[in-house]
Each structure stands twice: as C-alpha cells, then as structure tokens.
Chain A
Amino acid sequence: MRYIREMLLVMVLVFSCSESSDIAKYEPVSVEVEMPSNFPDMVYNMDNNPITEAGFELGKDLFYEGKLSSNNAIACAFCHEQAFAFTHHGHNLSHGVDGGVGTRNAQPIQNLAYQTSFMWDGAATHLDLQPIIPLTSEVEMNETLSNVISKLEADTDYQDKFARAFEDGEVNTENMLKALSQFMVMMVSSNSKYDKYVRNEDNVTFTALETDGLNTFNNKCATCHATDLFSDQSFRNNGLPINPLLDDKGSYDILENTEDLYKFKVPSLRNVVVTYPYMHDGRFTTLEAVLDFYDNGAIDNGNVDPLLLREDGSYGITLSDYEKESLIAFLNTLTDTEFLEDERFAEF
C-alpha cells in the first residue's frame, strides 16, 4: 500500500515535470531561403530577422488571421489569394471591413525580399513596415497595432507560437511584423517554364511562338520590366487616361512632387496570367486589353514616360497582331504552378 502511494507520488512528480517541459520555448530551427541563380541580389536583410521554422509558421498563421482586422474577418489573405499569385481574384479594387473599397488593385505577394519598395506608389520602403499600411487603413483592415496585439496576447495559442518563434518570446508588434516578413521572404516564385528555360533545367524548350514573344519582349518591354524579376523597380507614368472618379495621382502623393504625377511602380510580370485584372486600378481584365492599350490607348496626361514617346509624337508601344499573340504566349511561360500550389504557403 505504502509502496503504491510512493509510486503515485513519483508519478505525479514525473508528470508535473513533463508538463512543465511542454511550455513553449524558443526553437531557432533555421530555414533555407531560396535564392534563384537567375535573380538579382536579395534586398531584405535577413541578419536582422533570421528565418526560422517557427517564425515562418507564425507568419503564415498571421497572414491567414482575421483578428488582424477590426471585424475579425478580413485577413491579409482575403485580398491575397494564393491561386492568383496572392492577388484578389477578379477584383479591380478590393473591399475591406464595413464595405470599405480601396483605390488600387491588390498586388501579388511573391519575391518581395528582392524588392526595394512596396505598394503601387512606393509608400513602404521596408518589407517589415509594409503590413502596417493595410492593417491600419480604414477601408482595408481598419485596426490599430496595439489592438491587434491585445487580441493576439489574449490567445494562448499565439502566446506559444510567439514564444517558439522569438528569443524574447513577446507578443508585440516587432515580432508580429518580423513573423509576417519571414513568411513573405519565403514566398519565392522562380520555377516557371521561363525560369527553367533560362536556367537550362529539365530540358525545357520554348516553342517558336514563345521564342518570338521573348524576343519582342526583350526589344519592346524589358527596359522597364527588367531582370528576371520583370521590373526595374522604378516608378513610371505609362500614359493611362486618368479615372476622374479616383483621380489617383500615384507616387505624387508621397513627396507631392509634380514630376511624380501619375507614376506607379513597374509591376513584376511573374504569374501575370493569373493576376488579372491589370494596372494600378485593375481597369483591364485581359492581357489583350493591356497590349492594345500600349499599342494605341496611351494618352498624353502631361507627364508620360519619355521612353514611350513615338516618332509621330504619340505615346505607346507599337505592336503588330503577331507580336501581341507571341507576347502573350511568352507571358504564359511566366506562370509558376509550383508556387501557386506550394503547400507551405497554403491556408489548409
């Protein structure tokens, strides 16, 4: 009898010990970040925010977390759906909490660690700080940083996840933003047919139409859609007619410099086939409409990029029907199915 009692006591002790060791603690298991050989150098400084398994997982949870918005329903993923390279499927403008409607088309989330600025107007220059914009925007998530943190702090799951992801284990804004960056830094799209073609992988070859498209692209598009990121990361006015309803002045809003009027960031063309609709306000629903615009739709709105000035004084890029057809065939080679279906980034 006494023996059993002692056994029980030992068991209780052992049990309580094992329970205390279950408390979440920092587990810095580092994760290798893909750096494709055909990409320029990474811009994001991972020394300040090393990517770990737990940090990445926390970032993913936060990306799909409705609590980041004031009605607890609008997660980042609401406007950034994986199947569409993390854009808002079919929406020219996106809607946030309480029926708010934004003024610009949701941009894809891919290869952000390689970008020098974010948003259509470059309003964010550090990836860590970018999420503050949608999170606090009234027409998007309409929250405050401190309120989001109190919601996360009240959740024991998140307490554990933050403890595992960060050395100080604190549920705070710094760690929330770092986790989101870790998730986004990992989101690299670099395995399209085009990538495999330029890296000579898997014996991938281009059809004659795709090759012609690539040549036309290099001759007529690649000055702005430069490098294998397909953007020179500059801000340019491409001669879109002004939508008076939105009267979006683009990067002019940042410095209020008239030289920046109607300039928007040159978007990457990766996965462009699935990221429709196009342009900063999503006015074009097809790539054909985009190419037709460059061929004969641009207007002189006062500050059009001189690169688009044609000999006859008009703005645009002259494209024959065949050039358009082949360009679209080429643009189709930029679709990276591995990325669009990568389970590491998927909600479920």
Chain B
Amino acid sequence: MKLLKYTFALLACAIFTNCSIDNDDNEEDLSGETGELILKFDNSVGDQDFIFETSYSKSNNESFKLTNVKYIISNVRVTDTEGNTFTYPTEENVFIVSELNGNNAGEIYITLNDIDAADYTEITFGIGIDQERFALGADGQGDFLDLASEEGMMWSWASGYKFVRFDGTFSTDTVTDEPLNIHMGSVGEALDNYREVTLSFPNTVLVREENSPEVHIVADISKVFDGATTVNFADGYDQVHTDETETPIIASNVQTMFEVHHVHND
C-alpha cells in the first residue's frame, strides 16, 4: 500500500517534470493564437523623406516633383523561423498605399489581422495584381474594385489596374515643369508587369495575441527612375502607360524600391 502511494507520488512527479521540460523545449505553445502585424510604408527619395511638391534631382541632370504617389501591394505573406509561410487571406490581401493617406510623418499603415502567432523572419509581397487574381474577374474582389476605381488606380478605357501612379512634373536641361505621369500596370494577359519582393527582417518579428509588431518599410521613390535600370524623362520616360518596353523596366525598378528599415516588437 505504502509502495503504491510512492508510486503515485513518483508518477505525479514524473508527469510534472515532463510537462515543465516540454515547456522549456518549445518555449511557448502558440498553436491557435493569432495577432496583428502592422506594415508601415514610408516613402522616401534617397536619404530624404518624400514630401509632395518638393523637387528631387535624379540622374542625367533631371529633377521631379510629385503630387501623387500610389501603389498596389498584394499577396502579403510572412515566413517564420521554422520555414512555415503564413499567407494573408487572398480576398483581403490587396491594398493601395497612397502618400495622400499618410500621417504627418508620411507613414501609411496597413494592419493585418489574425496572423498566426509565430516568430517571423521575412516578408514577401507583390506590387500590383497578379494574373491569377486578375483572371478571377469580379470573384473575390469585394470592394477592392471600388477602392481602386476611386483612387484612380484603374484605367477607365480598359479594364486593368494601374499598379503604380507617380504624377507630377519634371525638369531637364531643356524643359521646366513638364507633366510627368508614370502609370504602370499589366495589360490583360498580353503584358504581365506584376512583380514580387522578399525582404528579410533585421530582427525576428514576434506576432502574439498581446503584441502587434510594426514593420517599417521604406520605399525609395528615386529607384523608380534610377533603379535596376536608369531611365531618363528626356527619353520618353516622362509618360509611361502601357508601353511594352517601358513598363517592364519601370516594374523592375519599382521592385527594388522597398527595404525593411526596422521592426518594433511592441
């Protein structure tokens, strides 16, 4: 009888110890837990913050001033330390980042809800609308069509999205304050200008129920013109709409705009 008591006591000990060992191994059990992740987009030009109507110089002695800076971000997904990828629900996974919607610091917030709690190391997102989403037509678009239409991110003469909008004026050695309009997008299935970027976080992003980490993404607008390829307004890059040669170059330049500057975990 006494022996049995001891056995029970030992068993209980074993169970408790086991449990505590388990806890130490996995640190914390995150299954079923979700939290928020906030993306802060911050437009810049080189090492300056972007400000409307301010003149910025680029290569080739050219300069530009913008009144409109907008781009579509979609298919946001984050990868954790274990290599698992969490993709935001497709229907909601499309956003318009517009400088006009920025706070006084020129930051535009995108809040992602119900992200699986985990330790994330990198983020991937697309610029524009991929062919798969476009092929859905109206399906799963909800109110995004209205939003895109209101924000001037759709062509009215064709049923396509403008992936980016940079409107303003430019000056060169020979002209001053001429109209500048960079409206790049895909054209049906004929021209696919959707691009994706993957950015590593400088430190691990801890998504938990009780903390909403903020990822500060800087988008360097100067890369639109001086990115992977340098383009000049004087050579026709002052008006970019659907041109088959110009738009893929702008798309690839826009792809190089983004950088995760820092992360706040609380």
Contacts and interface: CB of A to CB of B under 8 A. Distances in A.
Given A48-B140, A123-B157, A254-B190, 15 more contacts: A49-B139, A125-B159, A125-B188, A126-B134, A127-B137, A132-B145, A133-B158, A136-B149, A145-B146, A145-B149, A145-B150, A172-B143, A174-B141, A178-B139, A253-B157
B244 A257 contact: yes
B142 interface: yes
Nearest 8 A/B pairs, CB to CB: A128-B137, A125-B188, A129-B159, A177-B138, A123-B158, A128-B138, A48-B139, A124-B159
Contacts of B136: 48
30 contacts: A45-B137, A48-B136, A48-B139, A48-B140, A122-B188, A123-B158, A123-B159, A126-B135, A126-B159, A130-B159, A132-B154, A133-B157, A144-B146, A144-B149, A145-B145, A145-B146, A145-B149, A172-B142, A173-B138, A173-B142, A173-B143, A173-B145, A177-B137, A178-B138, A178-B139, A181-B138, A254-B190, A256-B242, A256-B244, A257-B243
A33 to B, nearest CB: 16
B149 A146 contact: yes
Contacts of B139: 48-49, 128, 174, 178
Interface in B68-116: none
A137 interface: yes
Contacts of A136: 149, 154, 156
Interface of A: 45, 48-49, 117, 119, 122-130, 132-133, 136-138, 144-146, 149, 172-175, 177-178, 181, 253-257
A174 B143 contact: yes
A181 B244 CA distance: 30
Q: Chain B interface residue count: which class?
A: 20 to 34
A144 B187 CA distance: 22
A106 B150 CA distance: 26
B243 A255 contact: yes
B142 A174 contact: yes
Contacts of B134: 125-126
B211 to A, nearest CB: 32
A256 B243 contact: yes
Interface string B175-210: 000000000000111110000000000000000000
Contact of A133 (B135, B156, B187, B191): B156
Contacts of A122: 188
B241 interface: yes
Nearest to B243: A256
Contacts of B145: 129, 132, 145, 173-174, 177
Contacts of B190: 254-255
A173 B141 contact: yes
Nearest to B242: A255
A48 B188 contact: no
Contacts of A181: 137-138
A177 B142 CA distance: 10
B146 A48 contact: no
Given A126-B135, A177-B138, A254 B187 contact: yes
Contacts of A125: 134, 159, 188-189
Nearest to B190: A255
B236 to A, nearest CB: 11
Contacts of A253: 157
Interface string B144-183: 0110011000111111000000000000000000000000
Interface in B234-261: 241-244
B131 to A, nearest CB: 10
A45 B136 CA distance: 8
